[in-house]
Structure 1
Amino acid sequence: MNILLVHNHYRQPGGEDSVFFSEKMLLSDQGHNVFFYTANNAQLEKFSAAGMIRNTLWNQKSYWDLRYLISKHSVQVAHFHNTFPLISPSAYYAAKSENIPVVQTLHNYRLLCPNALFFRAGHVCEDCLGRFVPWPGVLRRCYRGSIAASGVVATMLTFHRVLGTWKRMVDVYVALTEFARQKFIKAGFPAEKIVVKPNFVYPDPGVGEGKAGFTLFVGRLSPEKGLDTLLVAWERLEGKLPLKIVGDGPLAGKVIEATQRLIGVEWLGRRSREEVLALMKEASFLIFPSISHEGFPMTIVEAFAVGLPVLASNIGNMSNLIDPGRTGFHFRAGDSEDLAAKVEWAWAHTRQLMEMRREARAEYEAKYTAEKNYEMLMNIYQLAISRAKGRG
């Protein structure tokens, strides 16, 4: 097939970028002709305020660029990962103008919530869910702490709801979990258009042994990731076991302070994917203390791939991704005392932890391999193609 992948990269690389590259590599390795159209938020400084507003609502250049690419390469399906803010939803219209089916992966909740996270002021917030105009997100400065910036996002969402973009221009939406699918259905998206396909790890990183004797946190150092819960839990543990923290973000200063105050806490900063996987292979277990719904954390599926059990907060998608007692544990979100207790139990029960390593790897092999994901992806493309033909 001739497949077009479309993605707007963020300034700081994250899970969406990893999925984009993994799917691009997988499709190419399977013999498809893969073309791509991308933008990067590092370019935002080039635009005036008026230009930024215009491009977020409707980027005419993206529209014509994509029509040209689709026509030139005889594209058969267009798969979108992210169009916000530089590519814009005009890209869907470009595909439809060329009679090409559109697939959109729902990596986050951007089409329902101005900040895409359902998270505000330290807790889950769904005040904009189901609102035609997401005005609470504007008043509360939910995007970049700015009324103006939040207003631009809200205007884009409302403008394309008026146009019917979200319902008419996309043939198949790909939710990463059933939890996320239900959120979009609740918001009014057509249930029949939303399928579930999880993320995956490609290539297979192989299994680790977990013999280095440390626990591991990997993620953005930001409030919704539960850093406060993690650090308070380690204060309770009083240096009983080592913790390595990988990542960067606005709470880096707090993490640095913790390394100076708490015994056994080490900050490794931002590391490459290869370095992260190497650490995962040596760690005893991964801690994922997020206090938000999350999308589909690549960190968790990467942990499963190397056979690393996960101790995660029991909230949002993590409630379903972790099988307690088999692939890891749950603790109450935001509860540092419960987290510390679960960490101590896991550290003291090495035999059970080794069994969980085998089960975590089995979970990866059953659900998150490239082979299984490729089959699902091809079925999604064929579904999109058949729907586009039926509409025509």
Structure 2
Amino acid sequence: MDNKKILIIAHGHPDVHKGGAELAAYQLFQEYEAQGLNVMFLARSEEPPHGGAAFSIRNKPNELLFHTRQDDDFMFSNIRTRYIWSELRDLLARFKPDVVHFHHFFLMGIETLLEVRKTLPDVKIVFTLHEYLAICHRNGLMVKNKTNALCSKASPRDCHGCFPEKSPADFFMREMYIKRAFSVVDTFISPSHFLKQRYKAWGLEESSIHVIENGIAKIDEKGVKAKQHEELIHLAYFGQINSYKGLDVLLNSLLLLDRKDRKRFVLDIHGANLEHQPKRFQNEIFENLEKLKGTVFLHGAYQNADLPSLLDSAHWAVVPSIWWENSPIVIQEAFRSGVPVIASNIGGMAEKVVHEVNGLHFSVGKVMSLKNSLLRLIHEPDLYSKCCEGITAPLTIADSAKQNLALY
């Protein structure tokens, strides 16, 4: 790839949006730069255009913000802002990339894929699938709208059941519109085998989807060495605080413990956006935090670079999400620091965490199941050192970049 040009496109810049997909795209860009490759990063931005221009420089000339918006959240369309596509075409014609690697279409408009293909008929288009947004209108969660039951496969009729205001025909047309845009992609990348199978069931060719994990930055070699429990077992939760991440399940499981057993635990919660959640959910979390005062500590938002130090005191990381997840970066972060993980037994979580090898599974959304897992930490002290020893180092960004370049 020494003489090739690479354009990486993301739906946000990690300086502004802290999502895992944005971070994965940007870190890949930085790794390519470090290798001396000719690479450009293009991130969609909500910031107002500078002088009405479609693009602006973020940090350096090969790091651009794309000032566009998604007009139709159902079809992911930006038809009404097509007046700026000419500037996108001009950028593509000037840079002339050999590979365009999309890490999303959300907020930019899915027609961006079609514009790249029209402008550069011979370019290699690669697309990393980060979740199920193309399949599921409910924010890509694949969770039933009324019952919060897990959804295994989308269909126009079932989707109409979740969103009665949209007809089955609307959902059929939505699927066809997205698949039309996806038809110009040469190859897809999935960070987990589970996600790949979901898109295969949805209709993508299995042979077109390659599994490559999102790499993670290396830190000073710590080795996997169990920390002493002493009297307290330190649990850590990282991530957004919303009703799909399962923090309420974790808090309720602690509340079910006998007071004597509960005193064996300390839970540190690192996460933000609770204030943006429905009032009922906020009230439940705050009430449980009050009941668990002295056991649970809410620390608020954190920077990704802070994770190694925040994990220093943790014995176990807990990932209790009630939706399928894909490849939660917190699991890789925990394993990098030698911390075993307690996770829901579904989706990418169950794929990354091997039960009783590098962590524990519990039944998704089941408070009693998680409570029983916590009791095992007390009554089976050897389980901790066993799971620590079972951890293998996660894929590094350099290794992930090597696999991506080979695919290009």
Which of the five TM-score ranges fits, normalised by the shorter chain?
0.7 to 0.9
Q: 1:92 aligns with which of 110, 113, 138?
A: 113
Structure 1 position 108 matched with structure 2 position 131: yes
Partner residue in 2 for 1:35: 40
Q: 1:133 touches 1:158 (CA, 8 Å); kept in 2?
A: no
Q: What pairs up with 1:5-84 in 2 under 5 angstroms?
A: 5-9=8-12, 13-41=18-46, 56-58=77-79, 59-61=81-83, 63-84=85-106
Partner residue in 2 for 1:260: 290
Partner residue in 2 for 1:118: 142
> Which SS does the other structure have where 1:318 is aligned?
helix
Q: Which runs of 5+ in 2 are unaligned?
A: 50-66
Partner residue in 2 for 1:143: none
Q: 1:192 aligns with which of 194, 207, 217?
A: 207
> Which SS does the other structure have where 1:268 is aligned?
strand
Give a deviation string over 1:261-295, Cα, whole Å, max 9, x none.
Answer: 11401111111112233111220000111111111
Q: 1:304 aligns with which of 318, 331, 335?
A: 335
Q: 2:75 touches 2:178 (CA, 8 Å); kept in 1?
A: no
Residues 265 and 55 (structure 1), Cα distance of their counterparts in 2 relative to 1, 3 Å cut: closer
Give a deviation string over 1:185-241, Cα, whole Å, max 9, x none.
Answer: 111112221111112211336438645841011121111111221111010123321
Q: 1:78 touches 1:102 (CA, 8 Å); kept in 2?
A: yes
AA aligned opposite 1:260: E
Give a deviation string over 1:147-170, Cα, whole Å, max 9, x none.
Answer: 79xx99986544344xx222x211
Structure 1 position 376 matched with structure 2 position 403: yes
Structure 1 position 165 matched with structure 2 position 195: no
Partner residue in 1 for 2:163: 138
Q: 1:176 aligns with which of 191, 195, 206?
A: 191
> Which SS does the other structure have where 2:28 is aligned?
helix
Shift of 1:61: 4.8
Give a deviation string over 1:122-159, Cα, whole Å, max 9, x none.
Answer: 221246x244995445327xxxxxx79xx999865443
AA aligned opposite 2:151: C
Question: How far apart, in 2, do the equivalents of 1:345 and 1:334 lie?
Answer: 18
Partner residue in 1 for 2:7: 4
Structure 1 position 247 matched with structure 2 position 271: yes
Give a deviation string over 1:83-122, Cα, whole Å, max 9, x none.
Answer: 112x112221222121311111110111111121102342
Q: Which runs of 5+ in 1 are unaligned?
A: 141-146, 382-392
Q: 1:215 touches 1:286 (CA, 8 Å); kept in 2?
A: yes
Structure 1 position 286 matched with structure 2 position 311: no
AA aligned opposite 1:331: F
Between 296-305 and 212-221, report the one with greater CA deviation. 212-221
Structure showing the higher helix proportion among its residues: 1
AA aligned opposite 1:223: S
Between 302-311 and 88-97, report the one with greater CA deviation. 88-97
Between 48-57 and 371-380, report the one with greater CA deviation. 48-57
Shift of 1:47: 9.3
Question: How far apart, in 2, do the equivalents of 1:227 and 1:94 lie?
Answer: 41
Residues 233 and 51 (structure 1), Cα distance of their counterparts in 2 relative to 1, 3 Å cut: closer
Question: How far apart, in 2, do the equivalents of 1:119 and 1:211 lie?
Answer: 39
Question: How far apart, in 2, do the equivalents of 1:48 and 1:15 lie?
Answer: 20
Question: How far apart, in 1, do the equivalents of 2:159 and 2:136 lie?
Answer: 7
> Which SS does the other structure have where 2:6 is aligned?
strand
Between 370-379 and 210-219, report the one with greater CA deviation. 210-219
> Which SS does the other structure have where 1:260 is aligned?
helix
Q: 1:119 touches 1:224 (CA, 8 Å); kept in 2?
A: no
> Please, what TM-score do these two structures have when normalized by structure 2?
0.79
Give a deviation string over 1:334-359, Cα, whole Å, max 9, x none.
Answer: 12112112122224444441342233
Question: How far apart, in 2, do the equivalents of 1:48 and 1:83 lie?
Answer: 11
Question: How far apart, in 2, do the equivalents of 1:265 and 1:76 lie?
Answer: 51
AA aligned opposite 2:407: I
> Please, what TM-score do these two structures have when normalized by structure 1?
0.82
Number of residues of Structure 1 aligned to a counterpart in Structure 2: 364
Residues 130 and 52 (structure 1), Cα distance of their counterparts in 2 relative to 1, 3 Å cut: closer
> Which SS does the other structure have where 2:134 is aligned?
coil
Question: How far apart, in 2, do the equivalents of 1:323 and 1:171 lie?
Answer: 33
Question: How far apart, in 2, do the equivalents of 1:252 and 1:206 lie?
Answer: 39
Question: How far apart, in 1, do the equivalents of 2:239 and 2:287 lie?
Answer: 18
Question: How far apart, in 2, do the equivalents of 1:277 and 1:248 lie?
Answer: 18
Q: 1:110 touches 1:117 (CA, 8 Å); kept in 2?
A: yes
